[in-house]
Amino acid sequence: MLEDYLRNKLQSQPLLVMTHLVAGYPSLEDNWRMLEAMRDAGVALVELQFPFSEPIADGPVFVRANQLALQQGMNGERYFDFMRRAAREFEFPLLYMGYYNPVFRLGGQRFCDALKDAGGRGYIIADLPPELAVDLDVKAREAGLDPIHLMTPANSEARLREIAVNAAGFVYCVARKGVTGRQTALGLDVTDYLDRCRKATGLPIGLGFGIRTTEDLRQLKGHADIAIIGTACLEIWEQEGEQAYRDYLHALQKAAGRN
């Protein structure tokens, strides 16, 4: 399972790097080159976002990427084909990331079967709270998939414990209020928050939303197990190109390693 894989990795590296891409944006060919760069840098885990027309938890960069990916014809069949090819080629585990409606339309069982068949290892669904995810999570576990749940700094202690009940693999801790993209100032409040999350779950802990600099990663060591970088990667790909993207991933991975 994902948790064992992560624990194993964490023995040789204090902080793992998880990256993200929006499937179909800028194109599946570009996505493939992103995955190659992630492999070459030593990324531990990758989320493939399935685009949705109403991405309420995403900031402007991903909103646009979701929209353009759909306009360019991204759909379920292409998504799972791409995941299948990627799962064969790359060693890092792949996660489905997206919104609930495409999962709901496909049906929970068919979604889990399709994800498993494509070589995916779990899912992160941005608008499905744990109490509404129970049926899907049961099907996922039966299929050997890990439902990843999200904790946030707005949650009470009681709610954090509720979220932990059905979580598997690791817990995705949202670093701050708001949507994806905007820079997060890492300070004492974030480390306190991560400590609160640790008390609620024994799973490895990932921190995402607004994580972008090597300095961020250095600060997270000893507090989080996984640094999750999304928007910053896509911005560099768009603005500075492939080589800069590769350099950036290497720098992140280096910052996450032992000093």
Binding site for another protein (CB under 8 A): 52-60, 63-64, 67, 70, 75-76, 99-102, 104-106, 126-129, 131-132, 149-152, 154-156, 159, 163, 174, 177-179
Q: Looking at 71-209, which runs of residues are DSSP E strands? A: 94-98, 122-125, 146-151, 171-174, 205-208
Closest CA to 223 of 200, 207, 210: 207
Q: Which is nearer to another protein, 37 or 136 (CB)?
A: 136
What minimum distance in Å lies between the beta carbon of 66 and another protein?
9
Cα–Cα distance measured from residue 51 to residue 195, given in angstroms and rounded to the nearest whole number: 32
Residue of 29, 40, 58, 91 with catalytic role: 58
Q: Which is nearer to another protein, 16 or 150 (CB)?
A: 150
Catalytic-residue membership of 89 = no
What minimum distance in Å lies between the beta carbon of 173 and another protein?
10
Number of CB atoms found within 10 A of residue 135's CB: 10
> Which residues 6+ apart lie within 8 Å of 110 measured at CB?
none
What minimum distance in Å lies between the beta carbon of 15 and another protein?
23
Q: Which is nearer to another protein, 158 or 188 (CB)?
A: 158
Catalytic-residue membership of 192 = no
Long-range contacts of 190-193 (CB under 8 A, 24+ apart): 190/153, 190/223, 191/223, 193/153
Q: Which is nearer to another protein, 26 or 130 (CB)?
A: 130
Q: Which is nearer to another protein, 58 or 216 (CB)?
A: 58
What's the chain's Rg over C-alpha atoms? 17
What minimum distance in Å lies between the beta carbon of 191 and another protein?
19
Q: What is the DSSP letter of 97?
A: E
Residue type, 8: N
Residue of 30, 47, 89, 235 with catalytic role: 47
What minimum distance in Å lies between the beta carbon of 54 and another protein?
5
Cα–Cα distance measured from residue 226 to residue 194, given in angstroms and rounded to the nearest whole number: 12
Residues with active-site annotation: 47, 58
